Structure 1
């Protein structure tokens, strides 16, 4: 028999606005599975592999910007959520993890499918809640109260996952003849955050108005037209730096900094040194920007975030400001009459950055006209071809870096990338979850190891007609051939690249994807036209390149933009 309070679990979630639940099969979580499956207000997805399930839930939450529930049985199934929960934690995404468990008296008694689950995700959640095993009387009140508290925790303040652990005793399934229906008088409670003033204080305003060399760095962010407009308005007062994952459409933003900052001399470095840096958003990709600001430290660096964020990425942090970036920057822009900076110094500073950016872009485009077929030239061809109005998931390692170097994506394309932990695991699953809940075309640009690592993301019955996968197959971890250190060791091929001869063709055949294998630019152009033309079935393009040639071409690119 299923306890009424337990059966009401899904109704509590529904009443609090939760609409998507990713389930993984098991016996001990059967009461929860039955509750969610029978609730018409909730959309459920069944994913066997919990690691893939976690990333699929992450992809849904990324796109919808809403909490998504994960639900698993007891034992090691919970541990398989850890990679996706860690990624969600560092991205600031709300996942609500429900794990079924054995009652406390059976933990450590050599019983099956049993581990100590409490605290299993402690480092990557902002709350852990253990519910009573027999929710009757006061324990029923406790069960529902803790459910409310956990969901409120996920929804308030800094977005992050929470973990709800629920012990169950047998039986797990409805008794014969038991009729289940949701309680009519179910109560929920919500939390509300009072709006606070985000206007900069007079001291900060004065420092802004007096600074001649100002820089605004936009880290990973979602599309935000209001922010783009404010940054455009500020672009004659500050230089705007935007990685590809910033989703920033400001026309005057600096985008090729990762290339030209790699080879600047002391004189140029000094001319590019900012006095005041404002950072918004999450992480930045550019290693060279980090190294530049750690060497040529600004006098002031302000981190602007809706929640207190004290990460000192550039080793120059001077102020942490709790504010919505749009509100804060708008207040700076609205008080231009108080400006006291030297306009000529500011103009020269902005121009110095723009000259280097424009020069690098010209050199890069010229080099691309003569470079041999390689992973870099193929990625350039792919990125330029992606249609307007698409969503793009970039895998970690080289795909996101190539996209950041090339910077040719249309401004209305939204970029997603798992830069919370920057791992190669889960890229397929995140894109799959995204594709499940949107009608837009979803492009996954990934490497071979990332793709093969996460093939279970496709092991489910759901249609992915709008998913288009581009796999760059260079027979291994090509990044290790492109960076100093591993590229110079005798262990490169076997232990770092992990060279292989696998192809994505058989995965495509297994899951019914349209498949195109290409080995030159002409074949790639035809394949891209074929996958762009419609959303009738998932499609996969596999690009084969030679790792040695890839390395030589990438060296030529870096030499060309010096």
Structure 2
């Protein structure tokens, strides 16, 4: 029967779903699990060729004449090297060959193991895509193999097509006891002009990751889609979505709402700091047509412009309901109201700053956020639709945020450009403040808690590992950059011609915020340094995680959240007292 090796089963199953049946097989032991399983299946059209060089050329002729993809499969060692002439022919003629080369675990490469050669790097002109399939031992391996097989098989016909390479790891299992191939997730690519698949029934939403500014046509088309299909839009601050059916996803991202289900999520944009609500199925719409299985439920990729996608689905369907948006928006509003009701109890933190500042930002301004906590906290709230927002989520490193803000500020001298950064991200890029092209339209807020807060909050792996304050030594960057010196940034900013503002508590922040968010253009750029306690910064995220149970009455949630807020403050008070005692000792 079929081999017990799961990667073999998955590969055969997906070959069948993708309607690939022709195979030219060469003898060997490493590929025996695959070959014997294909032979048992009975639905594949099999041919044998001892010489792998000949097998590849046979497949070229077979593919050209039949106008169908053809599999070639060989054992390890030098057998695969003999495929190169035929695969080169297939590459330049754009013939759809699938070269499956069996291998022992690649961890053994270079360890003097017999019949094991390196195929992790291949010549540029023998395959349009090369993937390696590990032995499947857990769910992550299973997802990886499924994704890579789908990706490789979809490349056979893309942009004119060509050969692909699949390096298949074998465990040499002698177990051939599997009687039926499992059903595997199939990913399909849909190109503009082809027949569009039918939208599934159920709850539908759109999620927008990092995205450039929307034109009015795209926004109107998405709004029409939401109205016709009873859908809505999840977005974060990097999405630049300003339509009327949008819901900020930050609270859902941090707290999680397991009882709110999405059947189909349509994914727009690129790398995001947010994770939207879980969905049974995800469709990605992007003109690059690439397989981006960010949330591991991808089933279709639409290689087309976003406007084309939504316009095509809006042509023949009309319902005029927005109940899903209303339901989700009501939950969102209730959580925001709960946070606002706890405003006095919430710690002076990055989240409190975002909550009290997001509505004060001047219209038509531009905001650049530092990655992670700065962006995470502001993702919980919406800003005025005239404001555009960005973050360096492409490389997703802490460096360059301030420089990107400054570069953007060169474009429009009449706009105010804001930057919201944590201290570590700011100090990493602070030399950019010396650039002589900076003008008075730049305003930067630095939330200075004295370390990398991401390594200390309850969402991070370091905190979950129980490292606590021991992470300060070498992980959280504690103690650098003046240890929250009240003078360091003040003198640096003023010497470079900046107006310097600072705050150490809620009252001083609210006072300085009025100057920082004024709509008037000032004579100097501004730097606003806000000193916050690292433990209080973490406590705000603990607070927002308490909002996940929306099955309770609103009053109960509010009361529970207030108690959590006060208990957090009490815990931090104890820590502060302990610090004082240790210092006096």
Shorter-chain-normalised TM-score: which range?
0.5 to 0.7
For 2:332 and 2:225, the matched residues in 1 are separated by 18
For 2:441 and 2:291, the matched residues in 1 are separated by 39
1:400 to 1:262, Cα distance in 2 relative to 1, 3 A: same
Structure 1 residue 366, shift from structure 2 partner? 2.1
Structure 1 residue 549, shift from structure 2 partner? 1.9
Match of 2:22 in 1: none
| Residues 198 and 328 in structure 1, CA contact (< 8 A), matched pair in contact too | no
Structure 1 residue 332, shift from structure 2 partner? 1.5
Q: Deviations over 1:286-344 (max 9, x none)?
A: 23x2xx53xx532xx3211122221111112222211110122122123225x8xxx9x
Match of 1:485 in 2: 461
Structure 1 residue 358 and structure 2 residue 321: aligned?
no
TM-score (norm 1): 0.57
| Residues 200 and 328 in structure 1, CA contact (< 8 A), matched pair in contact too | no
Structure number with greater Rg is 2
For 1:202 and 1:485, the matched residues in 2 are separated by 45
Structure 1 residue 470, shift from structure 2 partner? 0.5
1:441 to 1:260, Cα distance in 2 relative to 1, 3 A: closer
| Residues 386 and 409 in structure 1, CA contact (< 8 A), matched pair in contact too | yes
Structure 1 residue 200, shift from structure 2 partner? 5.9
CA RMSD of aligned residues (A): 2.7
Structure 1 residue 276 and structure 2 residue 264: aligned?
yes
| Residues 469 and 539 in structure 1, CA contact (< 8 A), matched pair in contact too | yes
For 1:459 and 1:350, the matched residues in 2 are separated by 46
Greater relative contact order: 1 or 2 (C-alpha under 8 angstroms, separation 6 or more)? Answer: 1
Match of 1:322 in 2: 303
Structure 1 residue 463, shift from structure 2 partner? 3.5
1:327 to 1:558, Cα distance in 2 relative to 1, 3 A: same
Q: SS of 1:541's equivalent?
A: strand
For 1:234 and 1:285, the matched residues in 2 are separated by 25
Structure 1 residue 297 and structure 2 residue 280: aligned?
yes
Structure 1 residue 419 and structure 2 residue 393: aligned?
yes
Match of 2:529 in 1: 542
Match of 1:438 in 2: 412
For 1:432 and 1:426, the matched residues in 2 are separated by 10
Structure 1 residue 251 and structure 2 residue 249: aligned?
no
Match of 1:223 in 2: 213
Structure 1 residue 351, shift from structure 2 partner? 5.2
2:201 to 211, 214, 223: 211
Match of 1:335 in 2: 316
Q: SS of 1:496's equivalent?
A: coil
For 2:317 and 2:364, the matched residues in 1 are separated by 35
Q: SS of 1:373's equivalent?
A: coil
Match of 1:390 in 2: 365
| Residues 403 and 429 in structure 2, CA contact (< 8 A), matched pair in contact too | yes
1:331 to 1:550, Cα distance in 2 relative to 1, 3 A: same
For 1:391 and 1:330, the matched residues in 2 are separated by 29
2:378 to 403, 408, 422: 403
Structure 1 residue 396, shift from structure 2 partner? 0.9
Q: SS of 1:445's equivalent?
A: strand
For 2:252 and 2:343, the matched residues in 1 are separated by 14
Q: SS of 1:235's equivalent?
A: helix
Structure 1 residue 539, shift from structure 2 partner? 0.7
1:557 to 1:223, Cα distance in 2 relative to 1, 3 A: same
Structure 1 residue 514 and structure 2 residue 514: aligned?
no
Aligned length: 346
Q: Deviations over 1:357-416 (max 9, x none)?
A: 2332222222224323223212322322210010111111211111102x1311110001
Q: SS of 1:234's equivalent?
A: helix
Q: How does 1:52-451 map to 2 (within 5 A)?
A: 201-204=194-197, 207-208=198-199, 211-224=201-214, 225-236=216-227, 237=229, 238-256=231-249, 258-259=251-252, 262-265=255-258, 268=259, 272-287=260-275, 289=276, 292-293=277-278, 296-298=279-281, 301-336=282-317, 350=325, 352-405=327-380, 407-439=381-413, 440-451=415-426
For 1:203 and 1:381, the matched residues in 2 are separated by 45
Structure 1 residue 471, shift from structure 2 partner? 0.5
For 1:554 and 1:317, the matched residues in 2 are separated by 30
1:257 to 1:425, Cα distance in 2 relative to 1, 3 A: closer
1:559 to 1:220, Cα distance in 2 relative to 1, 3 A: same
| Residues 396 and 419 in structure 1, CA contact (< 8 A), matched pair in contact too | yes
1:535 to 1:328, Cα distance in 2 relative to 1, 3 A: farther
For 2:423 and 2:253, the matched residues in 1 are separated by 29
